[in-house]
Amino acid sequence: MPLVTTKEMFRKAYEGGYAIGAFNVNNMEMIQGIVEAGKEENAPLILQVSSGARKYANPRYLKKLVEAAVEDSGLPICLHLDHGDTYELCVSAIEDGFTSVMIDASHHTFAENIKITSQVVKYAHDRGVVVEAELGRLAGIEDDVNVSDANACYTDPSQVEEFVSKTGVDSLAIAIGTSHGAFKFKGDAKLRFDILEEVAKRLPKFPIVLHGASSVLPEYVQIIQANGGSMPGAKGVPEEMLRKAASMAVCKINIDSDLRMAFTAAVRKHFNENPAHFDPRQYLSPAREMIKQCVKHKLVNVLGCNGKA
């Protein structure tokens, strides 16, 4: 089976009340860990590549690794550009064979966001590629995604119909209180499900995307801290909130930080227990296995997309 778009995945996920996991990938071991989990759970997958990942790994290498994953697994896999911030970047990803792109023009005015998103949609749809856009802004600091808490704002539901009808976009990322990274909430976790509900009412059967959806599993924080790391105050989105979102209109749940933490926890533990090791295969094997276990847990206990390939 070749790379697929998210069209069928989202249609079934919406009807079935579950969500598809969109996992960020940067290297071979991450791709292998995710795909092994998908194979064992017979789950459809979205592998997503940020512009930071493209700079780190070289898009050609990632593309070939993902092609190998498709061939090896036989699973429906979508290759998605995460947080494309310009028309040119989206075009370049489409030329590289991505089957889905995100144009994140949420930092522009509403009118400008509509204009840029529409241009990307036109180019993508002419080539059979689907497009995700964003309305509202998430807090959080990533390499290429940098929004201060003060600049974050919730999606305004009264804008969604106009945005979707004018752009023709295929899915929409909304801001309901999640944020990127491993430090999401200072006090209790709080998500604005009322906004999600209102958006769903205004856009019947339309797939919604949740960014910044790592749970920052305490088990990984504990392993990292017990093996020389430091992540005080790390906190993510509780799993029951993600399950609730998946049962509503959310069809795509983005997970990056949890994978980074699983990988780091395994590498730290390995070095702590085996100070003499210096063969990368010795510490990358447990890292790949930790990614696999993390993704299996998400597919079965959070997303509910196991058995849906």
| Distance separating alpha carbons of residues 217 and 222, to the nearest angstrom | 9
By CB under 6 A, tell whether 107 contacts ligand G3H: no
Min separation Cβ 254 and Zn ion, Å: 5
By CB under 6 A, tell whether 184 contacts ligand G3H: no
Among 63, 80, 184, 211, binds Zn ion (CB under 5 A): 211
Among 52, 168, 229, 238, binds ligand G3H (CB under 6 A): 52
Dihedral pair phi/psi, residue 23, rounded to 5°:
-105, 130
For residues 78 and 48, is the Cβ–Cβ distance under 8 A?
no
Catalytic residue among 82, 85, 170, 256: 82
Residue span binding ligand G3H (CB under 6 A) among the ranges 116-124, 140-148, 218-226, 269-277: 140-148
For residues 163 and 103, is the Cβ–Cβ distance under 8 A?
no
- With CB cut-offs between 5 and 8 Å by kind, which of ligand G3H, Zn ion, ligand 13P, none does residue 303 bind? none
Min separation Cβ 282 and ligand G3H, Å: 26
| Alpha helices (H) along the chain | 7-16, 28-41, 51-57, 59-73, 87-95, 110-125, 160-167, 193-202, 218-226, 239-247, 257-273, 280-297
- With CB cut-offs between 5 and 8 Å by kind, which of ligand 13P, Zn ion, ligand G3H, none does residue 144 bind? ligand G3H
82 as an active site residue: the answer is yes
24, 59, 132, 202 from 206: Cα distances, Å: 23, 30, 12, 9
By CB under 6 A, tell whether 83 contacts ligand G3H: yes
Q: Which amino acid is at 76?
A: P
- With CB cut-offs between 5 and 8 Å by kind, which of Zn ion, ligand G3H, ligand 13P, none does residue 289 bind? none
Q: Which residues are catalytic?
A: 82
